Amino acid sequence: MASVDGGPAGRQIDLNADVGESFGPWPMGDDERLIPLVSSVNIACGAHAGDPATIARTVRLALAGGAAIGAHPGYPDLAGFGRRDLDMAAEDLEASLIAQVGAVLAIARSEGAAVHHVKPHGALYNRAARDAGLATTIATAIARLDAGLVLVGLPGSALLEAGRAAGLTVRAEGFADRAYEPEGSLRDRRLDGAILGPKAAADQAVSIARDRFAIAGAGHIPVEVDTICLHGDGPDAVATAVAIRAALA
C-alpha cells in the first residue's frame, strides 16, 4: 500500500478511508476533498452503498490522488447501510461478494487502474472477526476471484486467519476514529463515545502508528497494524483526515 510519512523516525503507515458510498443523487461524504489526504481507499461495491457510476468516479479520484484502490463489499443491505447482521447462506454470500468485488475490478480496469485489496464493510467485517465460518466464506470468495488481492481485517481476527489459510496476503487494520473496548473490539456505534472527533482520532492514530496501542477507556490495548482507517461518511471526515496527517507528521 501507499503510505503516509510518520515523522522523522522514518516509520510509515498506510492511512485508508471508506469512500464511494454515495448512491445515485444521494451524496455521502466528501470524497473529492478526502481522497487526496489518504494513501489508500476502500470503494463501496453497490451492495451497502454505491453504484456503478459512483464507483467509476471514485476510481478516477483515487487515480488522481495517487491512492491505492480497494474494494469494500458488504451485506446486500442498502436500507441498513450494511450495518445489520444478515443470516445469509454461505453460497449466497460468496456469490454476492464475487459480484461486488468483480464489479470494482471491472470498472477499475476500464479506467486503467488496478485493485490492490479487499476490506469487508460494517456488520460483515465485524462478524468475520470472530466467526471462522463466515471468515472462510469471505476469504474463499476473494481467492477464487483474484488470489493476488490483499485481505484487510482486525489484527488477530478470524478473518485474517482465514485469509492466510486461503493463500492471501493479509493486512491488519486499526481505527483512528472509532473507540475500542478493553478486549480489543470496536465499540458499538449505538453507544456514546463510539465515534471520535478530529482531535481524539488524531491522538489515537499517533498512538497506534508510533506506540502500537489504542486508547480503551482509561487504559490502553496493544494494536499492531499495517494500516489505519478513518470513515468517509461522517460530517467531520475531512477535518479528521487533516488532523491525523498533521499529527502523524
Model pLDDT, residue 143 = 98
151-193 confidence digits (pLDDT tens): 999 999 999 999 999 999 999 999 999 999 888 888 888 888 8
The answer to whether 55 and 43 are in contact (CB under 8 A) is: yes
Q: Classify the C-alpha dihedral 173-174-176-180 as positive or negative.
A: positive
The answer to whether 79 and 53 are in contact (CB under 8 A) is: no
Model pLDDT, residue 9 = 54
Going by pLDDT thresholds of 50, 70 and 90, the confidence category of residue 97 is very high
Q: Is the pLDDT at 6 greater than 60, yes or no?
A: no
The answer to whether 152 and 135 are in contact (CB under 8 A) is: no
**β partners of residue 186:** 180
Look up the pTM and report it: 0.93
114-135 confidence digits (pLDDT tens): 999 999 999 999 999 999 999 9
182: exposed, middle or buried (C-beta count within 10 Å: 0-12, 13-18, 19+)?
A: exposed
Helix H or strand E segment including 213: strand 213-216
All cell numbers assigned to 91: 453460497
3-state SS of 1-16 is: CCCEECCCCCCEEEEE
- Tell me the mean pLDDT in the region 36-61: 98
228-240 confidence digits (pLDDT tens): 999 988 889 999 9
Residues 6+ apart with CB under 8 A from 249: 5, 6, 7
Average pLDDT, the chain: 93
Dmax (CA) for the chain in angstroms is 49
